[in-house]
A and B are shown apart, each in its own frame.
Chain A
Amino acid sequence: MLTYTLKRILQGIVTVWFIATATFVAMHAVPGDPLANQRATNEQIQRNLEQRYGLDRPVSEQYVVFLGGILRGDFGISFTQENRRVNDIIRENFPVSATLGILAVAFAALGGILFGALTALFRDRLPDLVIMFLVILAISVPSFVVAAFSQLALVDINVYLGFSLLPVAGWGTLRHMIVPSMVLGLGTMAYLTRLMRSSMLEITSSDFIRTARAKGLPPARIFLKHQLRNAVLPVVTVLGPAIAAITTGGFVVELVFAIPGLGRYFVEAVQQLDYTVIMGTTVFYGAFLVSMVIVVDLLYGWIDPRVRVE
């Protein structure tokens, strides 16, 4: 087990290195001057700026400098927020995103498993149909609309009550987190609900469940030990990358609820061609994703001994 984990971590490092290299190449291949601004600067100022960021050196040399930086755990200074190190940006904003993301994923996973199991039990009957309708609504309405309308509803509730039930926006306390995390987790919850329903149905009609019933096992035990445990595997598979994606992809929710998370940096850095932030966030995200995948793969074996990886 330990050897396997170590091997996976080694592979993960190689994967992240590939990700970093591909992103580095892509970033330099995209046209646009990272230092250009709306206001044209004269050549001298342009040269001064290039020197500051080391862009006057050949790209290969920049690559070596960048790799050296990663090894020392230093991503450099942001191009757009010239006073901040990329490390500081990640250190200050990631905990916010992570908190929001973990809540959202917890919400999505619990809701998804519960609703999925429920719809499978009530297959083709009213609860199934109602939940399916809600699921479709949740995935075919853009997340901005969901976020904006839930905020609007919150304002109306607060105004109606005459006091602040939950804050409309901002960050800092548990009360700030409830609505945004639900909005953020909604899409994933919808997906997990359907996934869970589907795999529950498959399991219900499989032989070992029939055997278990024939043996006269208590239904509750069949449900928990056999059905749920087997059906949850696809959910776990999706969950790994979903945690990484939700934690860093909260751009819209962060915007609407004024949350100081990391999500906006992923979008804005590319638009602004902020080299150091692009590289910092991508490498960080890559490492995060890879570790989530490793965790999920280890979980596999625990949930279902059949898929234990050697």
Chain B
Amino acid sequence: MSVAVRFSPADFEPVTARRQLQVSSRPSLSYWQDSWRRLKGSRRTFASLCAVMALGAMAVAGPWVWSVDPAAQDIDQISQAPAWPSSALIVPPYTPWAAVTATPTQAGDVVTNLRLAEPASTQAVRLVWEPVVGAAGYVVYRSVYDTAPDRALGLPIGEVLGADQASFEDRLDLEPRRYWYSVVVTDENRAEQSAYAALTVDTVRTVSAGDAELRGWVEDATVLAPGDQIDLPYHPLGTDYLGRDMLARLLYGARVSLFIGVVAPLLFVLVGVVWGSAAGFLGGRVDQLLMRVADFVIALPFLLFMILFKIAFGIGPGESGVFPMLVALVLLGWPSTARLVRGQILQVRQEGYVAASQLLGARTGYLVFRHMIPQTMGVILVTLTFAVPSAIFTEAFLSFIGMGVAPPTPSWGSMANEGIRTMLSHPHELLFPALIISATVLAFNLLGDGLRDALDVRMRGRE
């Protein structure tokens, strides 16, 4: 039996020395790989990352999904809270109503026979009564609560002068609901009598065919006849102070607000980090000069310089000032981050490993970016996340000098600001923008926390 042993020339090659005698138990991770691993590891952080991306997607795609015009005004449904869809009765167009006069025949301190001249609608409520001899005039009140028993008449909605006046037309902000009307006689000193005539009125929502066409609810007004019902446009999140769809405005407003809320903080924090670390690292005269510049910028009157920027950039009427505003925010916003980073750098500058690295010949940039900035990542991220809402609100504040978005373009900050004016009577106008701003801030905070844990060198290698 013979075993044929075959050799190939390769078998006679000299053995190369195995350079790696031992293999580490797991692959080496770079700083960024390690950070990414930890970032993925936290469910909360991952969820916040998804939320941030969802917000971005909403800003991009939202207006296509809910394609209502954010500038369209539904004058008949101003400041509507979220509600089910409603419909309106078609009526003939509004025509001015001549005041009714009658010779007063009865004496007394209260009008009689207070009644409706025609069915009450949201277009108008027309009241008539029998006037009183010797009256100087009549004041008409309206309430949404029962006026009895303590004579709480509600809002004074109008006054007619002259004893012979026997009618009043109310068109003020009428909604389909029950109203309590009262009429009070005034004497020659314009003092009101304590007696009053009362009438309970239930209004129905109406609209004229012409208005329905003008508002784009129907193509052609002639298909509608008085007595028809027409469905009103549906606003799932209600409407604002001009009857504009809240949902459409929130979706559309995401573009400006997220842009300003994310880009501006990123930029000015970046400037602040560079500035602050340069000051902290270089120290001495450079530090003093850089920090005095920072003091100088913080102390400038913000509003005045914003007006100046607006003029310098030549923002005309109706033009969007978002980009100049971004520049201005960056120019005026960086010093606080710079101060903070400088303080942190001063603290870590003296650490042993920095000195070691320096002795090993590390270059300045490497030292700062590799050893120092990661140490200050915590405070940088806190500043960054706090700058998000403040940038969103600064944008809204600046619209007050005509520098933010041009009306009617919406932004979350300006929606919240407008919502403040009606926060007691129509809370939804404040609630929705405030909620979405809070959600954004929450998402960025959680992400910031996750990033902090991930980017913190001292956490390195930990599970």
Physical contact A–B (CB less than 8 Å): yes
Chain B 59-87, CB-CB to A under 8 Å as 1, else 0, gives: 00000000000000000000000000000
Task: Quote the shortest CB–CB distance from B87 to chain A (angstroms).
Answer: 35
* Residue from A14, A22, A306 in contact with B347 in the complex, judged by beta carbons closer than 8 Å: A306
The reply to whether the CB of B296 lies closer than 8 angstroms to some CB of chain A is yes
Q: Is the CB of A148 within 8 A of B423?
A: yes
Q: Is the CB of A238 within 8 A of B336?
A: yes
Q: For chain B, residues 354 to 409, give those with C-beta under 8 angstroms from any C-beta of chain A.
A: 375, 378-379, 381-382, 385-386, 389-390, 393
Can you report 28 A-B residue pairs in the complex whose CB atoms are below 8 A from each other? A14-B292, A15-B292, A19-B299, A29-B308, A30-B307, A135-B445, A136-B438, A137-B438, A145-B423, A152-B424, A190-B386, A194-B382, A198-B382, A199-B378, A201-B456, A202-B375, A230-B347, A234-B340, A234-B343, A234-B344, A237-B339, A238-B336, A241-B298, A270-B304, A270-B307, A282-B299, A285-B299, A304-B347
Total inter-chain residue pairs, C-beta < 8 Å: 144
The reply to whether the CB of A31 lies closer than 8 angstroms to some CB of chain B is yes
- Cα–Cα, bound, A236→B382 (Å): 15
Chain A 57-83, CB-CB to B under 8 Å as 1, else 0, gives: 000000000000000000000000000
Looking across the interface, which residue of chain B has its beta carbon closest to that of A281?
A: B301
The reply to whether the CB of B274 lies closer than 8 angstroms to some CB of chain A is no
Q: For chain B, residues 131 to 169, give those with C-beta under 8 angstroms from any C-beta of chain A.
A: none
The reply to whether the CB of A150 lies closer than 8 angstroms to some CB of chain B is no
Please name all residues of chain A whose beta carbon is closer than 8 Å to the beta carbon of B347 when the two chains form the complex.
230, 233, 304, 306-307
Query: 7 tightest CB-CB pairs across the interface, nearest first?
Result: A198-B378, A307-B346, A286-B299, A237-B343, A140-B438, A205-B458, A306-B350
- Residues on A lying within 8 angstroms of B by beta carbon are 11-12, 14-16, 18-19, 22-23, 26-27, 29-31, 132-133, 135-137, 139-142, 144-145, 148, 152, 190-191, 194-195, 198-199, 201-202, 205-206, 230, 233-234, 236-238, 241, 266-267, 270-271, 278, 281-282, 285-286, 289-290, 293, 300, 304, 306-307, 309-310
Q: Is the CB of A300 within 8 A of B346?
A: yes
Q: How many residues of B contact A (CB 8 A)?
A: 52
The reply to whether the CB of B313 lies closer than 8 angstroms to some CB of chain A is no
The reply to whether the CB of B437 lies closer than 8 angstroms to some CB of chain A is yes
The reply to whether the CB of B288 lies closer than 8 angstroms to some CB of chain A is yes
- Cα–Cα, bound, A310→B434 (Å): 47
Q: Is the CB of A194 within 8 A of B417?
A: no
Task: Quote the shortest CB–CB distance from A19 to chain B (angstroms).
Answer: 5
Q: Given known contacts A18-B296, A241-B339, is B379 in contact with A234 (CB within 8 Å)?
A: yes
Q: Is the CB of A140 within 8 A of B458?
A: no
- Cα–Cα, bound, A31→B298 (Å): 23
Task: Quote the shortest CB–CB distance from B49 to chain A (angstroms).
Answer: 17
- Cα–Cα, bound, A142→B393 (Å): 8
Q: Given known contacts A233-B343, A286-B299, is B292 in contact with A30 (CB within 8 Å)?
A: no
- Cα–Cα, bound, A141→B417 (Å): 10
Q: Is the CB of A139 within 8 A of B308?
A: no
Please name all residues of chain B whose beta carbon is closer than 8 Å to the beta carbon of A142 when the two chains form the complex.
393, 416-417, 420, 434
Task: Quote the shortest CB–CB distance from A258 to chain B (angstroms).
Answer: 18
- Cα–Cα, bound, A205→B417 (Å): 42
Looking across the interface, which residue of chain A has its beta carbon closest to that of B442?
A: A136
Please name all residues of chain A whose beta carbon is closer than 8 Å to the beta carbon of B416 when the two chains form the complex.
142
- Cα–Cα, bound, A132→B382 (Å): 12
Please name all residues of chain A whose beta carbon is closer than 8 Å to the beta carbon of B292 when the two chains form the complex.
11, 14-15
Chain B 317-351, CB-CB to A under 8 Å as 1, else 0, gives: 00000000000000000001001100110110110
* Residue from B298, B379, B430, B452 in contact with A145 in the complex, judged by beta carbons closer than 8 Å: B430
* Residue from B299, B311, B393, B430 in contact with A289 in the complex, judged by beta carbons closer than 8 Å: B299
Besides A289-B295, A300-B343, 17 new A-B residue pairs in contact (Cβ under 8 A), listed by A number: A19-B300, A26-B300, A27-B304, A136-B438, A136-B441, A137-B438, A145-B420, A202-B378, A202-B456, A206-B458, A234-B344, A236-B343, A237-B340, A270-B304, A271-B303, A290-B295, A300-B346
* Residue from A141, A236, A278 in contact with B301 in the complex, judged by beta carbons closer than 8 Å: A278
The reply to whether the CB of B305 lies closer than 8 angstroms to some CB of chain A is yes
- Cα–Cα, bound, A26→B284 (Å): 31
Please name all residues of chain A whose beta carbon is closer than 8 Å to the beta carbon of B378 when the two chains form the complex.
198-199, 201-202
Q: Is the CB of A199 within 8 A of B379?
A: yes
Please name all residues of chain A whose beta carbon is closer than 8 Å to the beta carbon of B307 when the two chains form the complex.
30, 270
Q: Is the CB of B423 within 8 A of A194?
A: no
- Cα–Cα, bound, A140→B413 (Å): 10
Looking across the interface, which residue of chain B has its beta carbon closest to that of A193?
A: B382
- Cα–Cα, bound, A206→B344 (Å): 14
Q: Is the CB of B452 within 8 A of A194?
A: no
- Cα–Cα, bound, A199→B381 (Å): 11
- Cα–Cα, bound, A141→B437 (Å): 8
Please name all residues of chain A whose beta carbon is closer than 8 Å to the beta carbon of B346 when the two chains form the complex.
300, 306-307, 309
Q: Is the CB of A15 within 8 A of B296?
A: yes
Task: Quote the shortest CB–CB distance from B443 to chain A (angstroms).
Answer: 10
Please name all residues of chain B whose beta carbon is closer than 8 Å to the beta carbon of A309 when the two chains form the complex.
346
- Cα–Cα, bound, A90→B416 (Å): 33
Please name all residues of chain B whose beta carbon is closer than 8 Å to the beta carbon of A141 when the two chains form the complex.
434, 438
Q: Is the CB of A198 within 8 A of B379?
A: yes
Please name all residues of chain B whose beta carbon is closer than 8 Å to the beta carbon of A133 when the two chains form the complex.
442
Q: Is the CB of B441 within 8 A of A140?
A: yes
Q: Is the CB of B389 within 8 A of A11?
A: no
* Residue from B298, B300, B445 in contact with A22 in the complex, judged by beta carbons closer than 8 Å: B300
Please name all residues of chain B whose beta carbon is closer than 8 Å to the beta carbon of A14 when the two chains form the complex.
292
Please name all residues of chain A whose beta carbon is closer than 8 Å to the beta carbon of B386 when the two chains form the complex.
139, 190-191, 194
The reply to whether the CB of B57 lies closer than 8 angstroms to some CB of chain A is no
Looking across the interface, which residue of chain B has its beta carbon closest to that of A149?
A: B423
The reply to whether the CB of B50 lies closer than 8 angstroms to some CB of chain A is no
The reply to whether the CB of B459 lies closer than 8 angstroms to some CB of chain A is yes
